[in-house]
Structure formats: structure tokens, C-alpha cells
Chains A and B, each alone.
Chain A
């Protein structure tokens, strides 16, 4: 009986297992092998040992793209988490009917295709005529050339990245709804201020959700591609004017693979990013032991 149940379980799991093997594990192994080759899809594959990895060390554009991506992620993740938490805190105070409306409003941008977000960035953040600078002008601020000035391209992309924080808001909202009300009441009776209750009750109670979104948003930030590619490299014209400030790691990887046909080198780039993501995630997991509170513990 147990044996039959085990096979039945495997049967139910098989679509995922097959999908994982064919579309994830298989290509990952293939790309690992390709990363040690000179492979351009069209001509014979040539084993080159660690040459691709050595070339990465000497490639200034790897450093540029990696620095851009890390800076973007370091700005994007905290901003997304703080704004999302603030919005979720506001939502939880809203009435039941209006909460549904606002939840939808906050989540809508998340379903906007990233390609559209890239185009939107160019329109909203144009230094001469964009809505952002027009609003800033109302406050007497002379806005920068967000889409051209290398110093402002990444901050602009971080701001447009906050456009799609709906998923994080929803996760925080669910977590906030599970914060024990009696703890807040007890703290309030003891004279704790709103800030003290937020710091000592709310944050520890939702630390699991905070940790989860930290990891997910960090990985997402490091893999940023669609909106940046659309805005700065999507067409021949944009490619011509592509600023180094917008050269993100996955954009560079894509260029190497499909513009310059260096698929072996691009595979090595992919593995470097994979290792960076694993390392950052391990650090985050290690740190989480000190900051994340699980009710079962």
C-alpha cells in the first residue's frame, strides 16, 4: 500500500520533475559544459578550458555591468521593501471595501509587462518633457536628465523599478494580518508608543516575510533585464546610444550570446552570476538566523 502511494506521489510530481529536468537542470548542466568551450552555435565547439573565466577577469565591461547591477540592487531592494511595508501598513488600516480597491490598484502595475515599463521609463523620466520633471518643476526643482545623464540613469531605473512592488505589498499585507492583536494591545497598555510597537512587535512578527522578500527581490534585482533592455538596448537606435550606466549584467550576457555569438563566454558569465547569487543568498540566510523570528521556534 505504502509502495503504491509512493509511486502515485511520484506520478503526481512527474510533470514538475520532467519540467525541472528538461527545462532547468538539463540546460544548467549544458551551460556549465558550454562555459568551458568556444561555442557560437554555428561552428564546431572547441574546448578552451578556463579561458572564458580568465577572459571575464580581464573584461572591463564585466566589471562595469556587475557594478551597475549591484548598485541597482543595493538601491532597489531596500526602497522596494520600505515602500511596500509602508503601503501595506496603510492598507491594513483601510476599511474592508476600500482595502480591496487599493490592493488591486497597488497590484495592477505588477501585471504590466516589463517591456512596457521600459518604454514608460523613457516617457516619464525624459529630462526635457517627462512627467517626473514637470512635477518636480512645480516644486521649483530643476530635474535631471534621467534617461541620458550617467549619474541619474540608475536612480531613475530604481524609481521605475518601484512601479512593480505590488507582489511585495501583498506578501507584507498577509503577514501583517497575522500579527497577534493581543501583543499590540498588551504593549499599548504598557505605554509603548506606536513606533515602539512597530519595532518590537510588528517587525519581529513579520520578519519571516521580510526575509523572504529580501531574498526574492535581491535575486530579481541581480537578474534585471527586460525593462533596462527595452529602454536602452531594445532597438538598433537604442543600442547605438546605449549608455554604460545602463549596461546591466544580464544585458551584457545577452549581448555576448546573441549579438556577438559568444555563447560559450555568455555561459561562463551566467555561471558567475549564479555563484554570486548563491553567495549573497547564503550570507542572507546566515544573517537571518539572528533577525528572523519563526513562531514555531
Chain B
């Protein structure tokens, strides 16, 4: 049994060492050409490839070697533990706090000053997500917004106006969800409205005037009665549409990324979703008419929870200076604009639409959506909503905090606990994890 733990660690260690070795960490400092190693990033599309090439040009004759796949905690831990960390790491911004608290990442203050990086070009919410205890640990990349996506055909069929569909009035929303939901011979055939819990609980809590955690990321607020009220409402929505088991089983049958997706098939009335899904719908079911609207709180204000990835430099990075310049270029506005132009060109050649790329860089977005793509009404709505974006703050125990509230929601969905009980338990777990992780800092 023990081997199940240690063997993967050793194997991961070997993989990490080999990965770094293959990265060709040679040369040393000074003016020698070196090859930067990285983890968590692959040049899968033209947005990635164009920026990667630009970033490499910025450190020529040195260059970075692209990795593959997404960030793998095992691989990263093994590399750091073996004393051979990569020069660069690309991970979700929400993970930065955990690694930063353990001093596995270097604060970017010196890097920003040395390279003259203009932090004003980045969206404040993205910077906040990458900042722990006042120190910036990552340069933000994408800016994933969460919007309300409404299936026009389904709403019209039910006699509802897509433009009037909103999340402001919860009683009206519950009524609309039930009206849109379709059950046939006991089986769910259409979800009227999917609140997307557990994952979007932070939005529902904020919509009800609550936050899951304090601004400094140190105090959990999961037991706020307003969070419980938000959870109770969203669970009630699901129970009114067949109950969790039927609801989830039916949702799992969706051809989410295909031409027979839930919008094309009329299997869903409306849901809250990341903006990337607009590209999926544009690509696979352009015939489906979709209204995009901000997800609004009960006070009517837009609630746009944003997330994304960031570039960070691990502690002990052998070539931290080149790494700094590389990530500066990678996230700079001219680089994003060049990448967007290349994407537009490739898509046009293929006769496919390009809705644009939402970045964490305000200046890049201004040019992309003015000169490179003509925003559709849906994209325009996202652009107008973006300034109200909020992020969960960086936390020293981000994963444990997330697990605590998500598991609490699952216990409620399974019918094992009431919202208040589940969130009280989650509060205890989350606060204990935060206290432990923040001990001494």
C-alpha cells in the first residue's frame, strides 16, 4: 500500500527531473543562450503558439521549450523537491496562493520593477487573484467571465421573452425554471434553468450580498446566513426540476462540445456559463439563437465571477531573469493583439467565425475588439460586463477552501444535510485549513 504513495512520488520525481533535463537547462547565466524549461503549458493553438514565439524572440538567443498538457501538481512537487524546479510554471490563478504561501513561487515585485512591467494594463480582478499578502505572484493571462446564456427558441416556445429573463427576482426565476422544465413519463427531458452549483456558488452568494471569504483570503465566511439562503434557493430550483439525481444524470447526457449540444437540441432553457462557450456554440450550432445577459444579483447589479491562468516563476528557477522577460512578453498587450490577428486569419481561412479572446489585459482587449473582430451583441454584452468582474482572493489553502464549500453543496444536493448544517461544517473545515496554512505568516 505504501508503495502506492511513494512509487508515484519517485516516478513523478524522475519524470520531473527528466522533463527539466530535456528542457536543456544549460549555459548558465550571463549572455549565454539557455533553454528555459516550463510546466503546465502547451502550444496547442495559434493564440498560444504566436505568443510563445513572440516571448521566445524577446529572450533570444535563449528560448523556452514548450511543455505539454496542463499543470500537474505531482510533477511540479517532484521537480521542486528534487531541487530541479522548472524556470516557468503556468497554472490556474486560484492555485497561486497555495504555492506562494509555501514559498514555492517567487514574488514578482523585482521582476516587475526590473522589466518595467506596466501592471495597469491588467484587469484589477485578475491581479487580485494572483496577489497574496500584498505580493504579486503571477502575471494574468485569460479572463474567463461567467454570463447568463439563454436559449431563445426554448423560451419563446414556453411563451417567455428571452430579453426579459433575469436572475434578479428569485421568485420569478424559480417560476420560469419550472415553466421551462419538461418531464416526459417521469423522465426529465429539458432543464429549464441550471444554476450550476456547486461550482458557481460564489456567484449566487454574491448575488445575495455575501462573500465566501474575506478580502484578505484569511477568514472563511461560509456560515453567513446569506450564503445558506443562496444555496437553499439554488437547491430548490434543482429539486423543482426533477431532483438532483435525475437532473445531473440528464445533464451528463448532453453533447456539450458537439453539434448536438443542449442548445441545439432544446434540452436546456438557460444556464450560467463561462464565456468560452459562446465560441463552442458559434462553431457547432450557429443556427441556435442565444441571448447573452449578465448574471445579476438581487440588487440588479452584474455579478461576473472571473478566473483564469497565470505565469509564475518557481523559487530556485535557474534562469529567473530570462523567465521574467519571457512572461512579460507573453502577457503584454502587443503579444495578445498579434495572437488575436493570427487567430482571426486562421479562422477566416477556414471559413469559421472568431468571436474574440477575452484576456486579462485591458489594452489588448480594447484593440482586439475594435480592430481585429467585430463584436457580436453577445460579445458586446460580455465586454460591457467585464469591468464588474470579481475574483476570489488568493488563499494559502485555496484547494482545501474550495473542497470544503463544494463538498458542502454536494451533501445538500444528496439530501444528507441542510444548507445551514453543511455550510457550518464547511466553515469549520475551511477556517481550520486557512489557519493552518497561514500559521506564521
Whether A270 and B245, one on each chain, are in contact in the complex, defined by CB atoms closer than 8 angstroms, is no
Q: Which residue of A lies closest to B245 (CB)?
A: A145
Contact of B5 among A126, A239, A257, A259 (CB under 8 A): A257
Contact of B411 among A23, A239, A244 (CB under 8 A): A244
Given contacts A244-B411, A244-B414, A267-B5, contact A127 B102 (CB under 8 A): no
A163: chain B residues within 8 A (beta carbon): none
A245: chain B residues within 8 A (beta carbon): 414
A42: chain B residues within 8 A (beta carbon): 77, 80-81, 99, 102-104
* Distance in Å: Cβ of A14 to nearest Cβ of chain B: 20
Given contacts A223-B4, A240-B199, A270-B1, contact A258 B73 (CB under 8 A): yes
> At the interface, yes or no: B219 with Cβ under 8 Å from chain A?
no
Given contacts A42-B102, A244-B407, A258-B77, contact A127 B245 (CB under 8 A): yes
Instruction: Give Cα A250 to B399, complex, Å.
Output: 18
> At the interface, yes or no: A68 with Cβ under 8 Å from chain B?
no
> At the interface, yes or no: A294 with Cβ under 8 Å from chain B?
no
Q: Which residue of A lies closest to B198 (CB)?
A: A240
Instruction: Give Cα A128 to B245, complex, Å.
Output: 10
Within 8 A of B (CB), among A109-133: 122, 126-129
Whether B245 and A27, one on each chain, are in contact in the complex, defined by CB atoms closer than 8 angstroms, is no
B6: chain A residues within 8 A (beta carbon): 26-28, 30-31
Whether B7 and A23, one on each chain, are in contact in the complex, defined by CB atoms closer than 8 angstroms, is yes
Contact with B along A78-91 (1 / 0, CB 8 A): 00000000000000
Given contacts A127-B249, A148-B244, contact A43 B103 (CB under 8 A): yes
> At the interface, yes or no: B10 with Cβ under 8 Å from chain A?
yes
Whether B187 and A150, one on each chain, are in contact in the complex, defined by CB atoms closer than 8 angstroms, is no
* Distance in Å: Cβ of A273 to nearest Cβ of chain B: 5
Instruction: Give Cα A261 to B399, complex, Å.
Output: 10
Main secondary structure of the interface of A (DSSP, over half): helix
Interface magnitude class on chain A: 35 or more
> At the interface, yes or no: A274 with Cβ under 8 Å from chain B?
yes
Contact with B along A17-34 (1 / 0, CB 8 A): 000000110111011100
* Distance in Å: Cβ of A131 to nearest Cβ of chain B: 12
Q: Find the residue from B5, B10, B80, B250 having the highest chain A CB count within 10 A.
A: B5
A167: chain B residues within 8 A (beta carbon): none
Interface magnitude class on chain B: 35 or more
Whether A150 and B414, one on each chain, are in contact in the complex, defined by CB atoms closer than 8 angstroms, is yes
Whether B248 and A241, one on each chain, are in contact in the complex, defined by CB atoms closer than 8 angstroms, is yes
> At the interface, yes or no: A277 with Cβ under 8 Å from chain B?
yes
A108: chain B residues within 8 A (beta carbon): none
Whether A145 and B249, one on each chain, are in contact in the complex, defined by CB atoms closer than 8 angstroms, is yes
Q: Which residue of B lies closest to A28 (CB)?
A: B2
Instruction: Give Cα A40 to B400, complex, Å.
Output: 14
B407: chain A residues within 8 A (beta carbon): 242, 244
> At the interface, yes or no: A260 with Cβ under 8 Å from chain B?
yes
Given contacts A244-B407, A244-B410, contact A126 B77 (CB under 8 A): no
> At the interface, yes or no: A211 with Cβ under 8 Å from chain B?
no
Instruction: Give Cα A259 to B98, complex, Å.
Output: 10
> At the interface, yes or no: B246 with Cβ under 8 Å from chain A?
yes
> At the interface, yes or no: A271 with Cβ under 8 Å from chain B?
yes
Within 8 A of A (CB), among B184-206: 186-188, 198-199
> At the interface, yes or no: A149 with Cβ under 8 Å from chain B?
yes
A273: chain B residues within 8 A (beta carbon): 1
> At the interface, yes or no: B252 with Cβ under 8 Å from chain A?
yes
* Distance in Å: Cβ of A155 to nearest Cβ of chain B: 14
Whether B5 and A266, one on each chain, are in contact in the complex, defined by CB atoms closer than 8 angstroms, is yes
Whether A240 and B102, one on each chain, are in contact in the complex, defined by CB atoms closer than 8 angstroms, is no
Instruction: Give Cα A32 to B376, complex, Å.
Output: 60
> At the interface, yes or no: A94 with Cβ under 8 Å from chain B?
no
> At the interface, yes or no: B168 with Cβ under 8 Å from chain A?
no
A250: chain B residues within 8 A (beta carbon): 4
Whether A128 and B253, one on each chain, are in contact in the complex, defined by CB atoms closer than 8 angstroms, is yes
> At the interface, yes or no: A207 with Cβ under 8 Å from chain B?
no
Within 8 A of B (CB), among A236-286: 237, 239-245, 250, 253, 255, 257-261, 263, 266-267, 270-271, 273-274, 277
* Residues of chain B whose beta carbon lies under 8 Å from any beta carbon of chain A: 1-7, 9-10, 73-74, 77-78, 80-81, 98-99, 102-104, 186-188, 198-199, 244-246, 248-250, 252-253, 397, 399-400, 403, 406-407, 410-411, 414, 416, 433
25 contacts between A and B (CB under 8 A): A27-B9, A30-B6, A42-B80, A42-B99, A42-B104, A43-B102, A43-B103, A128-B253, A129-B253, A147-B249, A150-B416, A225-B4, A241-B248, A241-B410, A242-B407, A243-B414, A244-B407, A244-B414, A245-B414, A253-B4, A258-B73, A260-B397, A260-B403, A263-B9, A267-B2
Beyond contacts A42-B102, A258-B74, A263-B9: 14 other A-B pairs, Cβ-Cβ < 8 A, are A28-B2, A31-B5, A41-B80, A128-B246, A128-B249, A128-B253, A142-B186, A147-B249, A149-B245, A242-B407, A244-B411, A260-B397, A260-B403, A270-B1
The 7 closest A-B pairs by CB, nearest first: A27-B6, A127-B249, A145-B245, A42-B102, A274-B1, A129-B253, A148-B245
